[in-house]
């Protein structure tokens, strides 16, 4: 995935939000080129979703914005997404997108999103960085505001 001397070409900051779980939700990302300072900022929402789905969607949408293979540092407060990408996914794939729960095989939750992420991450080189949410990290706070605003718009759409 990445070497100790990994220098990202871009940094992808992501966050998701959900009002109720499930409920109206939103996602947001900041894709930054560190050397030029250029940024691409996007957000969106869904009327009926979960927080985990919005966290994953933020990463998917950010990676879809890349036009060529790139060294990416993914910065997220979602342990679910980061552990899924860096630890769990190889076994899920080996086991036909299933996981063991109480000794029984169960389908992986959000499998269509994990499969989309699997396709997208195969194109790039990664470093995964976990940060604490709501801890004053400027880009995380900005992504959170984008996601919350998008969830409010999604909530209005569900009325």
What tokens were used for 59? 């990463």
- Annotated catalytic residue: which of 7, 20, 134, 157? 134
16 labelled catalytic: yes
105 in any annotated domain: no
134 labelled catalytic: yes
42 in any annotated domain: yes
Low-confidence ranges of the chain (pLDDT < 70): 1-4, 158-159
CATH for 18: 3.30.420.10
14 in any annotated domain: yes
147 in any annotated domain: yes
pTM of the predicted structure, to 2 decimals: 0.93
- pLDDT at site 4: 60
- Annotated catalytic residue: which of 46, 55, 61, 139? 55
Q: Which residue has the tokens 């389908």?
A: 107
Number of domains, the chain: 1
118 labelled catalytic: no
- pLDDT at site 154: 87
Q: Where are the beta strands (DSSP E) in 35-144?
A: 39-49, 71-76, 98-101, 104-107, 125-130
Domain region containing 71: 10-84+125-157
- pLDDT at site 158: 58
Q: State pLDDT tens for residues 13-55.
A: 999 999 988 999 999 999 999 999 999 999 999 999 999 999 9
- Annotated catalytic residue: which of 28, 77, 84, 124? 77
104 in any annotated domain: no
Which residues neighbour 4 within 8 Å (Cβ) at sequence distance 6 or greater? none
């Amino acid at each position: 995935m990445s070497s100790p001397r990994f220098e990202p070409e871009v940094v992808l900051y992501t966050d998701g939000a959900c009002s109720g779980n499930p409920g109206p939700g939103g996602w947001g990302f900041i894709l930054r080129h560190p050397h030029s300072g250029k940024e691409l900022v996007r957000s969106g929402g869904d009327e009926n979703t979960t927080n985990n789905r919005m966290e994953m969607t933020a990463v998917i949408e950010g990676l879809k914005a890349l036009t060529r293979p790139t060294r990416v540092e993914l910065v997220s407060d979602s342990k679910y997404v980061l552990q899924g990408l860096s630890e769990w996914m190889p076994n899920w794939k080996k086991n036909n997108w299933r996981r063991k729960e109480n000794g029984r095989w169960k389908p992986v939750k959000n499998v269509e999103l994990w499969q989309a992420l699997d396709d997208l991450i195969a194109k790039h080189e990664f470093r995964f960085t976990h940060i604490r949410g709501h801890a004053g990290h400027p880009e995380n706070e900005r992504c959170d505001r984008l996601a919350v605003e998008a969830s409010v718009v999604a909530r209005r759409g569900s009325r």
